[in-house]
Amino acid sequence: MTRYSALSVFRHALSGNRTWGRAWRDPDPKPYYDVVIVGGGGHGLATAYYLAKEHGITNVAIVEKGWLGGGNTGRNTTIVRSNYMMPGNTMFYERSMQLWENLSQDLNYNVMISQRGQYNLCHSPGQMDAARRRGNIMRANGIDAELFDRAEVQRRLPYLDYSEKARFPIHGAIYQSRAGTARHDAVAWGFARGADRHGVDILQRREVTGYLFDGGKIVGVQTNRGDIRAGKVALCVAGHSGHLTQMAGLRLPIETHCLQAFVTEPYKPLVDTVISFGAAHFYVSQSDKGGLVLGGDLDMYNSYAQRGGLPVVEHTLASAKALMPCVSRLKLLRHWAGVMDMSMDGSPFITRTPVEGLYLNGGWNYGGFKATPASGWCFAWTIAKDEPHEDNAEFTLDRFERGYQIDEKGVGPQTNAH
């Protein structure tokens, strides 16, 4: 396989770009794999990559019903950050951040990590206090965080609304300089290429329709194109976790909801960081192509439709204009939606399940993208060693029974409120 570099691009250009090899193979499935990963999104591909790279487990297949990276990996707003406060979350997301920082080098694939910083704006003294608590926890755990007052935010982001007219005045912001964005598709492709290089079989357009059981133990998957036997079956199908665990007889503390994302026409650089509004569920960044990427709140009702409604379009754009009045004459180019595993405490699962042979990675709410490398890394660990790493030790299904809810927002067991 070609190692990518400026030199290889140059060399191939000289031969008219007609000699590039495939980024990953399109193999026929083997009858048996040590691990079958269901779901060829970022998390599944990362899991396969780290299983091979960190644990030497290479007899691995990824079974994907559509095309790899075609789910939430390819439809999110690409933000990466590690500003989590709750024990159980903080260090997991920081592991992810550290993996991001070397991911392009590790994968030999530029996933375009742009550490352009992220501001979480505060609009009341109470929000400033909450932000301070978060920032302090981050700093106490070795994660960068700064708390800015209104004047400093205005100096850095002069284009926000500081006028008398602002309904929710900006009191300040908590800032993480190492946060930023990544190129979402490239993350899937980079992990796919990396996993393939280690011998992992990526089986696209193959949908899992059930499991093979031996007694109570899962020993493989049934697909629309034949059965595949497996030592372990690992689910990485956030958005559809409930559907796939139900086939194994499990009910989860998860509901599936639809989250919309928006992009404007491309403009010359306008916003050079990531800004989260504190008065409504809204955030904005600008892609390298120049489109403003906007994220808003859930559509609020359970949905698998990958299609959002107008009320959230209205809310999101109103938030954009409330925050940045200058966007008014800019134009929305496209809006779409992805389906999320919304868990009952807003935090994920990376865990063995009560069904032997079945492993679950899901419940990512709307925070799955930033978690991709650590999710794969920790899930690989959990699958390989049959026990969690300390960074995902709390991401179990029994935490609700124990009372260990990891509730960053403190809103309780209401999936659409997280």
Site for other proteins in 318-337 (CB under 8 A): 318-322, 325-336
Alpha-carbon gap, residue 36 to 216, rounded angstroms: 18
Among 29, 199, 231, 290, binds other proteins (CB under 8 A): 290
Q: State which of positions 167-196 bind other proteins (CB under 8 A).
A: 167-169, 174, 180, 183, 185-186, 189-190
Min dist. Cβ of residue 335 to other proteins (A) = 6
Q: Per rule CB under 8 A, is residue 314 in the interface with other proteins?
A: yes
Nearest residue (CB) to other proteins, 105 versus 215: 105
Alpha-carbon gap, residue 32 to 28, rounded angstroms: 12
Nearest residue (CB) to other proteins, 186 versus 230: 186
Alpha-carbon gap, residue 313 to 120, rounded angstroms: 21
Q: State which of positions 131-150 bind other proteins (CB under 8 A).
A: 131-137, 139-142, 145-147
Min dist. Cβ of residue 228 to other proteins (A) = 21
Which stretch in 207-215, 221-229, 266-274, 367-375 sits in contact with other proteins by CB under 8 A?
266-274
Q: State which of positions 215-244 bind other proteins (CB under 8 A).
A: 240, 242-243
Q: Per rule CB under 8 A, is residue 317 in the interface with other proteins?
A: yes
Min dist. Cβ of residue 225 to other proteins (A) = 16
Size of the site for other proteins (CB under 8 A): 146
Q: Per rule CB under 8 A, is residue 207 in the interface with other proteins?
A: no
Alpha-carbon gap, residue 32 to 416, rounded angstroms: 39
Alpha-carbon gap, residue 267 to 245, rounded angstroms: 44
Please check whether residue 105 is in contact with residue 98, taking contact to mean a CB–CB distance below 8 angstroms: no
Q: Per rule CB under 8 A, is residue 270 in the interface with other proteins?
A: yes
Closest by Cα among 263, 299, 295 to 282? 295
Instruction: Name the DSSP letter for residue 391.
Output: G
Nearest residue (CB) to other proteins, 135 versus 232: 135
Q: Both tokens of residue 366?
A: 């709307």
Nearest residue (CB) to other proteins, 111 versus 234: 111
Rg (CA), the chain: 21
Min dist. Cβ of residue 12 to other proteins (A) = 8
Q: Per rule CB under 8 A, is residue 393 in the interface with other proteins?
A: no
Among 28, 56, 155, 165, binds other proteins (CB under 8 A): 165
In Å, how far are 130, 231, 395, 397 from 381, measured between CA atoms? 34, 15, 13, 17
Q: State which of positions 350-379 bind other proteins (CB under 8 A).
A: none
Nearest residue (CB) to other proteins, 31 versus 142: 142
Closest by Cα among 357, 292, 354, 376 to 327? 292
Contacts of 70 (CB under 8 A, 6+ apart): 40, 41, 64
Exposed, middle or buried: residue 25 (CB in 10 Å: 0-12, 13-18, 19+)? Answer: middle
Q: What is the dihedral of CA 129, 132, 136, 138, to 10 degrees?
A: 120
Site string for other proteins, 95-124 (x = CB under 8 A): ---x--xx-xx--xxxxxxxxx------xx
Q: Per rule CB under 8 A, is residue 48 in the interface with other proteins?
A: no
